[in-house]
A and B are shown apart, each in its own frame.
Chain A
Amino acid sequence: MNSGNAAVKQRMTIAEALNRAHHQLLESGADVIVIGEDIVGGAGLSEAMAADELGGVFGVTAGLAARFGTDRVIDTPISETAIVGMAVGAAMTGLKPIVEIMFCDFIGVCFDQILNQAAKVRYLSGDRIAMPLVIRTTMGAGDGSGAMHSQSLHGLLASIPGLQVACPATPADAAGLLKSALLCLDPVVLFEHKGLYASEGDVDAELPAVPLGRGRYVREGRDITLVAVSAMVTEAEKAASLLADEGISIDLIDPRTIQPLDSKLILSSLKKTGRLLVVDEGAAFAGFADAVLALASTQAFADLKSAPAKITPPHTPVPYGRALEAGWLPNAEDIVLKVREMLHG
């Protein structure tokens, strides 16, 4: 490779990468619009107050309205059903909406418009009508937000035919998956982890698109395959470093996309390691972790040297108190203990 052509790398956070990707997307066509609650901020207050954009509660959309106008960067009343439905209709009639749902817990409010409307339009139209709709939302516990602002519902959404679902863990993937999502003919739900917005990484300045449905190797090893997405990738990386000191080498895969899942990548890893541990912050029952376990046990049974296993939070709402919440979340130590048990019994 000619090093002269190497992309310029910049260090930035996930929030910054997403903000820049929004700028690029809004620049790319007048049909791209952004809709959400408080995504500009200060709507209806004096212009002086609105000038310093809130940009959503995590600041991801700050500065977009100043540049692209409030016709295209639209603050709405608190009406998740109406705004997701409006975005569905807009996508059916030529626009490319990016909708922000502040917390994925609020998907409970607008589930009909996602489950019955957005997800089904392309199929019910006999493929005549595409649904270039992106729903950005947040997931994850760890910040004391309690049971209605901390869930991780990626598995639930991924179980709905017609939806694509991704959970980026790095700045490059957050920006790159957002770009692919807007080009996708199906609606895509992007789950951004609240605890990762400030997490930094090196990113190509052009923020290249990252294909949906393709996972990545975080590190390669031979003893056991670890599958994790979103903030659990960080925990898995920590665990992998600790285990490396014990001579255990981890094949760590971040599928990035939940639906469609990069089964090929996981199965090829299992061929090598014969052991699988899935770590996920989502549902303990019928969630993403179970989907990966089902994949392994139905498609890679002959490769498996031991029963595939998972670590998820318990099957309860997310607790509030610091100790309770920390105990509820899977962490690196849980992973280390589980891997030791799986390898040494």
Chain B
Amino acid sequence: MQNVQTLYSKACFIRAFEQEIADAADHGLVPGLLHLCTGAELVEAAICTELSGPADQVCGSHRSHGLALAMGADPVKVAAEILGREDGLSGGRGGTQHLLASENGFLTSNGIVGGQVPIAAGAALSAKLGARGGIAVVFFGDGAANQGAVLETMNLAVALHLPLLFVLENNGLGQSTAASFSSGNVDLLTRAEGFALPVMRMDGFDANCCLDGARASVAQMRSSGGPMFIEASTARLSGHYHGENAAYLTLSAPAIDPLAALASLLPEQPRSEIAAAAARRAKEAVAAAILIPELQP
């Protein structure tokens, strides 16, 4: 139960952070479009709980605010980076899609769908050659699953026996395109098995499944030193980007909220206390970031 509570706290914080950032965007404080991670919090927070940077390194997609936070990056710096401010992780040069906090084990997010996946193989190679027991974990979506870079890396990780955990977050939509269409209705877990990757299915709506699966897979990787593949079901609770209002969104099934499912496992106390504390921390972080000036040319 303690683990479930901790997961709830982390997931609530990420959710609240995303809401604060979305509010900031609605007030015109974000330079470009935002790709929120709402709906993927359980999977991401559960797996990152098993990791410890900088020995372990995580790479993520364009939708990676939550991963950076889950690995322990300073929320004010993450928020400031997203807002393009001078005390952001990279002084506002990178922004929402290019978060880098390798000090904390969040190596990089990426503006190219699937672009982070080969890079994670490099972090895995460093872990392997450094022999310090670290692993690399790469998160990518069902949209990226059909990119050559991803498929090449799945093979390379097997061929070179790299300690790389592939986490395919399947939320059913790559931008506006159904995952079933993009992959010809092929089960993506079966595809990974075709690469001889040990595979695991993770129900990203079930907190205990996420926690147990994360613990088991990371433990297996630390002992085998080789790659693994998880297909996790997640929800995409926002549009492709925050504020998107396209017709296709009305065609996809209404997403169930994994965080609400997790909340229902907890008694009213400490649930509301945890949620309130997370909301407060997120509000403070984003408010602090808003006060930071922009880096001038």
Query: A residues bordering B, Cβ < 8 Å?
Result: 30, 33, 71-72, 74, 76-77, 79, 81-95, 97, 112-113, 116-117, 120-121, 123-126, 128-129
- Chain B interface: which size bin? 35 or more
- Residues 120-167 (chain B) with a chain A CB within 8 angstroms: 120-130, 136, 148-149, 152-153, 155-156, 159-160
The one of A86, A116, A125 in contact with B125, judged by C-beta atoms closer than 8 angstroms, is A86
The one of B90, B112, B118 in contact with A89, judged by C-beta atoms closer than 8 angstroms, is B118
Chain-A contact segment, one of B13-21, B93-101, B215-223, B224-232: B93-101
The answer to whether B121 and A82 touch across the interface, beta carbons within 8 angstroms, is yes
The answer to whether A88 and B152 touch across the interface, beta carbons within 8 angstroms, is no
Q: Give CA–CA (A84, B153) in the complex, Å.
A: 11
- Please indicate the chain B residues that have their CB under 8 angstroms from the CB of A76 in the complex: 156, 159-160
Q: Give CA–CA (A95, B121) in the complex, Å.
A: 13
Q: Which 5 A-B pairs have the closest CB atoms?
A: A89-B122, A85-B118, A126-B90, A90-B122, A82-B152
The answer to whether B102 and A81 touch across the interface, beta carbons within 8 angstroms, is no
Smallest beta-carbon distance B149→chain A, Å: 5
Q: Give CA–CA (A93, B58) in the complex, Å.
A: 11
Closest to B100 in A: A125
- Please indicate the chain A residues that have their CB under 8 angstroms from the CB of B100 in the complex: 121, 124-125, 128-129
B108 contacts A by Cβ under 8 Å: yes
Smallest beta-carbon distance B72→chain A, Å: 16
The answer to whether A92 and B102 touch across the interface, beta carbons within 8 angstroms, is yes
> Which among A79, A83, A129 has the highest number of chain B CB atoms within 10 Å?
A79
Interchain Cβ contacts under 8 Å between A and B, 20 examples: A82-B149, A85-B122, A86-B121, A89-B123, A89-B124, A89-B125, A89-B126, A89-B136, A90-B122, A92-B119, A93-B127, A94-B126, A95-B129, A97-B122, A116-B115, A117-B119, A121-B108, A124-B90, A125-B100, A125-B102
Map CB proximity to A onto B152-185 as digits: 1 under 8 Å, 0 otherwise: 1101100110000000000000000000000000
Query: B residues bordering A, Cβ < 8 Å?
Result: 57, 59, 88-91, 93-94, 98, 100, 102, 107-108, 110-112, 115, 117-130, 136, 148-149, 152-153, 155-156, 159-160
Q: Given A76-B156, A90-B125, A124 and B94 touching (CB < 8 A)?
A: yes
Closest to A77 in B: B159
- Please indicate the chain A residues that have their CB under 8 angstroms from the CB of B93 in the complex: 123-124, 126
The answer to whether B156 and A93 touch across the interface, beta carbons within 8 angstroms, is no
Q: Give CA–CA (A77, B91) in the complex, Å.
A: 38
